[in-house]
Each structure stands twice: as structure tokens, then as C-alpha cells.
Amino acid sequence: MARPRSTAVPFDDAVATTRTGDLWIFRGGTVADRAIQTASNAPVNHVGMALVLDDLPPLMWHAELGRSLRDQWTGDHHRGVQLHDLAEAVMTWQVRYGQRAWLRQLDPAAGAAEEDAALRVVARLDGVSFPSTVRLGWRWLRGRDAHLTRRSREAKGLRPEDAYCAEVVAATLEEMGVLRPDVPTNWYDPGRFWSGDSLPLAEGRRYGAEVEVAPPA
């Protein structure tokens, strides 16, 4: 399931080569991490998406409960949906949270139109709250039933009350045209973005296999 640590790419190399739309996937061993993995029958518990724009440092677009890092979009510290410096975010998840990290790269690489689409989602979702544990579990369970969760055309593009990490990544990739809008965003969990699962990718799009990223020295 996971590559041995001896084959992990150096932290700095992974950060330097990441591109917009690449997936960063994490797995931890805490009780909360294991609960998410068990509930979703997935080997991982968190996913974020890289956003790499012009001469800015690589950014991480995701949702989490913590607020220790400065949000690069708003300039403040808050919980929920956030845009972080990617190196700082990955370091926090690896060192402070004790998580293993993997990188999956999008092929072909995103272009200017896809990056503009991603920024529109950032403008709409940044600052949205992270759902409570109960609400998160309920929404994920509803996501298993397409009849209960079929999304109306009118609701698409609105700012939700809350969102968890996989929903944020899925909504962004849909807007970018990387994912087809075949399923509601709460159908996704972090494990959907692991190579052992399947994603409704648009024609001509693919993700490479996971490459484990070594923790920073």
C-alpha cells in the first residue's frame, strides 16, 4: 500500500517540483486519524491540493481544524478552509502532527485557465468552517447514496456553510475541469484520492502513483 521510507523523495525536491493540481495526501496514527481511516475505509486521513502561481512560493489549498499557520489569502489565522505556504503546511503535518506524506502529480500539468479557475474557488471557499465530527460523519455517509446527495444545478457554485478537506479539493478540481461533476462533493473522502481508488477524471487527465515525501531535515 505504501512505498518504503527508503524510496521517499527529499522534502525540498518534492516542494520544488510540485505543480498546480498536484495532490498531497497524509496518513497519521492518532485516534482521530485512525477514526477517519476506518470510517472511510481508506489508508489516509487528509488531502490537500498544490497551487503554484508565477513567482509565489508553492501553496497548499486544504481544510483543517488547526489555525497555527497564516492564511495566504486573508493574511490572518483561522480554522477551516485555508491557503497556506505549502512547505510550512507539509512540515506541520509531518513534524507537528506526525503524519506521513505522499505526492501525486497531475498529468498534463495545469495551465493558466485551470489556475484562474482554482483561484475563483479560493475566493469563494477560503474561510469556510470545518464541520463538526458528527456533521462530517453524517455528510460522508450521505455521500455513499447518490439518490440522497444528487446535487442540484442551482446549488453549484454557492458558498457552503462548512467543508472538509476532500470536498474542498474535489470542488476545486471540478472547477478546473480535472474532475467530472458526476457525483456530489461529499462523495469524496481522502482515500478517494489514493491510487487504489477511482476518480471521475475528465478525458485526458490522470494522476501518477503516490511518491512518499521524506520529512524535512
- The DSSP string of 1-51 is ----GGGPBPHHHHHHH--TT-EEEEE--SHHHHHHHHHHT-S-SEEEEEE
Question: What pLDDT, on a 0 to 100 scale, did the predictor assign at position 159?
Answer: 76
Taking only the tens place, the pLDDT of each residue in 160-189 is 788 889 999 999 999 999 999 999 888 899
Question: What pLDDT, on a 0 to 100 scale, did the predictor assign at position 134?
Answer: 46
Band of residue 89 on the pLDDT scale cut at 50, 70, 90: very high
Question: What pLDDT, on a 0 to 100 scale, did the predictor assign at position 3?
Answer: 44
Taking only the tens place, the pLDDT of each residue in 101-120 is 999 999 999 999 999 999 99
E strands within the chain?
A: 23-27, 46-51, 59-64, 80-85, 100-104, 106-107, 206-207, 211-213
pTM of the model: 0.86
The ranges assigned to domains in the chain are 10-200
Assess whether pLDDT exceeds 50 at residue 2.
no
10-200 classified as CATH 3.90.1720.10: yes
Q: For the sheet containing 211-213, what is the strand order?
A: 80-85, 59-64, 46-51, 23-27, 100-104, 211-213
**CA 89 vs CA 40, 105, 111, 208: distances in Å:** 23, 18, 24, 22
Question: What pLDDT, on a 0 to 100 scale, did the predictor assign at position 161?
Answer: 80
- What is the distance between the alpha carbons of residues 215 and 217, in angstroms, rounded to a whole number? 6
Greatest mean pLDDT among 47-61, 133-147, 154-168: 47-61
